[in-house]
Amino acid sequence: MIQFNLNGKEVEVKDDPNTPLLWVLRDSLGLKGTKFGCGKALCGACTVHLADTTVRSCSFPVRYAEGKSITTIEGLGDAERLHIVQAAWIEEQVPQCGYCQPGFVMAAVKLLERNPDPTEEDINNAITNLCRCGTYSRIKKAIHTAARNIKAQN
Amino acid sequence: MKKKAASMLFKKKWPQGILVLVVLLFTSASAFTIKGLTSVSKEYRTITPVQENEQRSLKLFREVTKVLRHARCINCHPSDNFPRQGDGDETHRHLMNVQRGPEDRGMLGMQCTNCHQSSNNEASGVPGAPEPDNPDLSRWHLAPLSMGWMGLTDAELGARLLDKEQNGGMNPEDLVEHMKDDPLVLWGWNPGSDREPIPISHDDFIKILEEWVATGAHVPEQ
Amino acid sequence: MKNITVNNISRRGFLKTTGLATGGLLLQGCFLSSDKKDGSKAIPLNAYIRITEDNFVTLIVHQAEMGQGAQTTLPAILADELGADWSSVILENGLTDPAFQNPKFKFQFTGNAESIRSFHDILRKTAATARELLKEAAAEAWGVDVGSLVAKDSHILDQKNGKKAPFGDFVVRAGTLQAPENPKIKARSEWTLVGGKSLPRVDVPDKVTGKAIFGIDVALEGLLHAAVTICPYFGGTIKELHENDLRNMPGFIDLVRIPVANPIVAYPPGFTKQEGIAVVAESYWQARMALKKLQIVYEPGPNAALDSESLYSLYEDTLQGSEWHESLKEGDAQKTIHTSNDRHTATYYSAWQSHATMEPMNATAEFKEDRIEIWAPTQGQEMAQILLSKEFGVPQENIIVNRTYLGGGFGRRLLADYIYLAAYVSKQVKRPVKLIWSREEDMQHDYYRPGTMQSLTASLDTKGMPTALHAKAISPTILQAATGADYVFEGEDPSFPEGIKETPYRFENFLLDVNMIRLPIQTSVWRSTGFGPNVFALESFIDELAAKNGKDPIPFRKELITEERSASILDAVAEASGWYKPKKEGHYMGVALTHSFETFAAQIIELSIDGYGILDIHKITTAVDCGIALDPAICRASIESGITWGLTQALSSEITFKNGRTVESNFHDFKILTPAEFKMELETIFVDSGAKIGGIAESGPIPVAPALCNAIFAATGKRFRTLPLKKHGIYTRYASNYLPKKEKLTKKFAAL
């Protein structure tokens, strides 16, 4: 039995401790927003938050989540209460097929928490997820938009 | 194919260099001859001439450098800000724009531990290693820039290795301990997936290191 | 935010209310029914529009949403013409229905940039029909002349007396009326939702909150999970299977051998059927772990020696050979060329490519006796019905294909092989099964965009203008696997010669010879279809002809083109990019012109390159005339998405082969463009010609490779005719940092 905090709630799972967090989230806990893209931590579609950092959950055995706090895209915000980054994503109309976007959003949120006004280079260094539709230019725009909105809010 | 060739190469090379040497140094008290080392008769063993010690030490150091320069070690001991991946000729900068970052643990948003956990992940192929005092905590990080080994000559590598200013205040005995116990070092012998492990055993490597230290931890001057 | 409700997966029972059997009527867009069997009181006015008595307007999205914006623009056309209140419509993914078939192909699919260009007029007529029915019912109810009524915001309004009532008040009566045959269609000036401004995409909120349901996210009661592995050798077989302790693995349910894991409707000669093995378990990860226990010994089979080098030689040998299918002949190109004193020949090659959709192949199936229900991210709902019906002997109408969001399509999801696998396994285990491919399986068992070779020869007159073109194109079929008909193409398929058979240019004498080689590797369409590689060849060649006589590539093209639209976008792109102005130090430009999917696009790439072949792409300017850009933001996103696609294949991505199987297996060796590489400025201009609406999703990638190579030529004087450019040691600055030790950057361009 592995226990951890998921999106603010305590959960426990019976999966094999080596099961990637990704599949525990998706199949045991029913949160499908975290996506499977490559299974090798190459594409970032499975990015979630672990305490104050991000992890690529396809390569994160659930046993390491014991006692930790995990946040997924579902825990970030919803249509009624959007996270400021999600709102920026909507403002810039970022997604196309959308499959990789939760991973990008999660990565962007962590970047902005630690660096509220990132440069183009900061973004390139921090966000290395892959998108096959080619939404990169709007992703960068949305991060800057979110940064502006965060600044305006404070 | 390339990988096989590389391991063949090592199979051929190492016995000449190290294994034979180690076996002879540690299992036989009788006189021996080996390239670079003169025979020593039994009764004079305790007072080996300094020069011979130095020669032996230098010879051993060369074997040490082979391990230090192996992909499993040097990929995370770069002399720049970029970790490497891959074996031999296939070695390349770590994909995904991975960089050293301010604390040798990656850049904000792309830290080593975002992907590398405290053990090898056989499912994803992503390697990992723990902190010595906590098996659940990932130790994955880069050696500090001061311990970057890439592109160094033997002399430079030796100097850097022994320089307490650069090596974290370690004297040669501490270095041996580091190589003996550090989970990141040990990982080199158990790299997981299809990565090539360091081709001599860890025990043999430690014996070489210990003998190198015992013989004065000599490194070439140039 | 708009309060649009998106029902991602069709409600069960929907099929009953529209009815496949009534297809003839549906096709005319005037199926009349007040069938309330589903209990929703939604009255279908036709296959696309249902309205409840309490005025909920449901619009059916009949084309897959795979990022191209179909889910927004298609229903917006309906709402626009119907006079529905966009902010309150309910959108629902359609099932299969004859009314949803593409009129050109008589086949329901999403692809080929067809969604808008083939359905805009149909949707308008369909919605206009519904609108007129509602107006007529209102006129009857109010005892007024229909002429004074308008439909607006989901209400009927009498302009004479200001009387207003919701659509729902009239829908029951409207459903019983005879539909008008030729309802008046709104003029462009009356459009409010499309044709000018951009709508917020309806799929975006769910896609940024993780709520959007892709195929891989489907959840059903009692669902089992399957992992699959398919024989990796083209034409290989499974020699030995060692189960080890597979059956003792936690959650293990069953092991299913699938004799043909890559089925298509009609097999071309030389097709290699591959056996697959699925492991079924209680959870997907358990299935993966159990599958890992399996030890499979393969017999590589007759193609064990196949590799990229031998394959390339085969293309070269074919080019030297004499077996050609005459695809098109105008005038006498061979004679003209033979007798000319000024000739030019060049040969081009575009590499093998994988679709590599971010969502790996997957499908969910529930096989029940004589009925199959599918939930899948598919571009080919009808294809799934056809293939499954053929393979399982289940009547097509008993195969229900629910379409989810697609995590990328790019042509791969036109096929139904991955859907078949889920159905096959569900049939064996008699439970609903979701089958997910690993990335490695996805990449190694793709239906690839094949390598293609083009050889072009032209003769030139004394002014340096071409008098004849003789083109030869070599490619395996790309349309066979995507064809729902039980028919094998001979000589050529209609898709692979695209872009070279019909060009924006006029050649007095033109001969196109093709050789549709038969290979053991499975091939299919891939975003940009035949246009991608053929336009790369043609647009590079046109540039070569211009350069041969020192002519500026844009005026040279303008002299060769035959219609106004190409000329005007060339002017537009030249203007916006500063083509005729002095360039910045070290900056060079290349141009390409395309006419594809009824859309004209011209592109200019501005770049710098150093002596070592390291590229900095500064700006990509694209001018597009797709008739009318219905939703400019979606169209722009589509073109820019295409630019990424085009750059990826031009620069870095490639599928290679060794020892009879695919080498690449994941994103570490199939390299797609990364965020750090994508920092060029993009400018995309839409030239509104008001002409028939053209496709947009496939057009973006097409000019990229030739414009890029033409710019590199402008900078270096060196012509690169084979893709990807990494083969020539040309890399983006970012990618150049990632070369393996064995590959050294070499000085290539002495002058730089």
Please say whether the beta carbons of C553 and C591 come within 8 A. yes
Cross-chain CB nearest to B97 (options C676, C739, C740): C676
Cα–Cα distances in angstroms (integers) from residue B190 to residues B194, B204, C187, C281, in the given order? 10, 15, 72, 31
Q: Identify whether C348 is part of a domain.
A: no
Instruction: Report pLDDT digits (tens) over B117-138.
Output: 999 999 999 999 999 999 999 9
In one-letter notation, the amino acid at residue B187 is W
Chain A residue numbers with beta carbons less than 8 Å from the beta carbon of C439 are 37-40
- Residue C13: pLDDT over 90: no
The mean pLDDT of C456-460, rounded to a whole number, is 98
The domain that contains C434 carries what CATH number?
3.30.365.10
Instruction: Test B123 with C288 for CB contact under 8 angstroms.
Output: yes
The whole-number pLDDT of residue C43 equals 86
Element (H, E) at C457: strand C452-460
- Dist. CA C66–CA C407, nearest whole Å: 6
Do C454 and C582 lie in one domain? The reply is yes
Fold type of domain A2-76: Ubiquitin-like (UB roll) (3.10.20)
Question: Residue C218 class from Cβ within 10 Å (0-12 exposed, 13-18 middle, 19+ buried)?
Answer: buried
Please give the angle made by the CA atoms of C605, C611 and C617, to the nearest 5 degrees.
20
Distance from CA of C717 to the nearest CA of A (A): 30
The whole-number pLDDT of residue A92 equals 98
* Superfamily of domain A84-153, CATH level 4: [2Fe-2S]-binding domain (1.10.150.120)
Instruction: Report pLDDT digits (tens) over C499-533.
Output: 999 999 999 999 999 999 999 999 999 999 999 99
The DSSP-derived string for C69-137 is: SHHHHHHHHHHHHHT--GGG-EEEE----GGGSBTTTTB----TT-HHHHHHHHHHHHHHHHHHHHHHH
Of the candidates B136, B141, B101, B97, the residue with the CA atom closest to the CA atom of residue B119: B136
Do C404 and C469 lie in one domain? The reply is no
pLDDT range class, residue C744, cuts 50, 70, 90: confident
Instruction: Test A130 with C667 for CB contact under 8 angstroms.
Output: yes
Please say whether the beta carbons of B57 and B215 come within 8 A. yes
**Taking CB atoms and an 8 Å cut-off, how many pairs form between chains A and B?**
64
Instruction: Report pLDDT digits (tens) over C681-710.
Output: 999 999 999 999 999 999 999 999 999 999
pLDDT range class, residue C3, cuts 50, 70, 90: low
Domain ranges of chain A: 2-76, 84-153
Q: Which residue of B has its CA nearest to A51?
A: B114
Distance from CA of B107 to the nearest CA of A (A): 7
Q: Which residues of C302-313 are buried (b: 16+ CB within 10 A; e: fewer)?
A: ebbebbbeebee
Of all residues in chain C, what percent carry a pLDDT higher than 90?
92
Instruction: Test C667 with A43 for CB contact under 8 angstroms.
Output: yes
Helix (H/G/I), strand (E/B), else coil: C330: strand
Please say whether the beta carbons of C703 and B51 come within 8 A. no
Please say whether the beta carbons of C340 and C460 come within 8 A. yes
- Dist. CA C496–CA C257, nearest whole Å: 34
Of all residues in chain A, what percent carry a pLDDT higher than 90?
97
- Dist. CA C448–CA C431, nearest whole Å: 32
pLDDT range class, residue B198, cuts 50, 70, 90: very high
Preceding omega of C724 cis (within 30 degrees of 0): yes
Q: Where is average pLDDT lowest: A103-112, B21-30, C608-617, C654-663?
A: B21-30
The whole-number pLDDT of residue A154 equals 83
Do C260 and C113 lie in one domain? The reply is no
Q: Which of C4, C204, C208 to mutate to test the interface with A (most CBs of A within 10 A)?
A: C208
Please give the angle made by the CA atoms of C312, C318 and C320, to the nearest 5 degrees.
110
Cross-chain CB nearest to A58 (options B96, B109, B124): B124
Q: Identify whether C209 is part of a domain.
A: no
Instruction: Test A59 with B136 for CB contact under 8 angstroms.
Output: no
Do C244 and C266 lie in one domain? The reply is yes
The mean pLDDT of C261-266, rounded to a whole number, is 98
Distance from CA of A67 to the nearest CA of C (A): 22
Helix (H/G/I), strand (E/B), else coil: C53: coil
* Residue A61 DSSP symbol: B
Helix (H/G/I), strand (E/B), else coil: C281: strand
pLDDT range class, residue B51, cuts 50, 70, 90: confident
The whole-number pLDDT of residue C10 equals 45
Instruction: Report pLDDT digits (tens) over C74-106.
Output: 999 999 999 999 999 999 999 999 999 999 999
Please say whether the beta carbons of C76 and C127 come within 8 A. no
Do C557 and C624 lie in one domain? The reply is yes
pLDDT range class, residue C24, cuts 50, 70, 90: very low
Count of domains for chain C: 3
Helix (H/G/I), strand (E/B), else coil: C661: strand
Instruction: Test B90 with C742 for CB contact under 8 angstroms.
Output: yes
Residue C639 contacts by C-beta under 8 Å, 6 or more apart in sequence?
A: C601, C622, C624, C684, C696, C699, C700
Q: Indicate the angle between helix axes C553-560 and C531-548, nearest 10 degrees.
A: 110
More confidently predicted of C277 and B24: C277
Question: Do strands C731-732 and C614-625 pair parallel, antiparallel, or not at all (unpaired)?
Answer: parallel
Other residues' Cβ atoms within 10 Å of the Cβ of residue A10: 8
Do C622 and C692 lie in one domain? The reply is yes
Which value does ipTM take for this structure?
0.98
In one-letter notation, the amino acid at residue C508 is E
Other residues' Cβ atoms within 10 Å of the Cβ of residue C106: 12
The whole-number pLDDT of residue C8 equals 55
The whole-number pLDDT of residue B2 equals 40
And the tokens for C66? 């795979």
Of the candidates C658, C641, C656, C660, the residue with the CA atom closest to the CA atom of residue C726: C656
Cross-chain CB nearest to A95 (options C204, C217, C410): C204
Q: Identify whether C392 is part of a domain.
A: yes
**Taking CB atoms and an 8 Å cut-off, how many pairs form between chains B and C?**
25
Q: Which of 93-152 (B) contact A at CB < 8 A?
A: 95-99, 107-111, 113-115, 117-119, 121, 123-126, 136
The whole-number pLDDT of residue C750 equals 83
Chain B residue numbers with beta carbons less than 8 Å from the beta carbon of A111 are 108-109
Domain ranges of chain B: 2-28+50-77+144-214, 94-138
The whole-number pLDDT of residue B117 equals 96
Q: Which of B81, B85, B92 to mutate to test the interface with C (most CBs of C within 10 A)?
A: B92
The mean pLDDT of B175-190, rounded to a whole number, is 95
Q: Where are the alpha helices (DSSP H) in C483-631?
A: 531-548, 553-560, 564-577
Q: Where is average pLDDT lowest: B51-55, B69-73, B169-173?
A: B51-55
Q: What is the pTM of this model?
A: 0.92
Instruction: Test C738 with B92 for CB contact under 8 angstroms.
Output: yes
Domain span at residue C580 reads 311-339+448-736
- Residue C664: pLDDT over 70: yes
Of the candidates C166, C359, C522, the residue with the CA atom closest to the CA atom of residue A133: C359
More confidently predicted of A107 and B8: A107
Chain B residue numbers with beta carbons less than 8 Å from the beta carbon of C742 are 89-90
The mean pLDDT of C142-162, rounded to a whole number, is 97
Please give the angle made by the CA atoms of C337, C343 and C346, to the nearest 5 degrees.
105
More confidently predicted of C18 and C365: C365
Mean pLDDT of chain C: 93
And the tokens for A12? 């426990």
Do C407 and C554 lie in one domain? The reply is no
Please say whether the beta carbons of C205 and C1 come within 8 A. yes
The mean pLDDT of C394-409, rounded to a whole number, is 97
Location of structure tokens 């107006």 = C135
Do C175 and C236 lie in one domain? The reply is no
The mean pLDDT of C349-359, rounded to a whole number, is 98
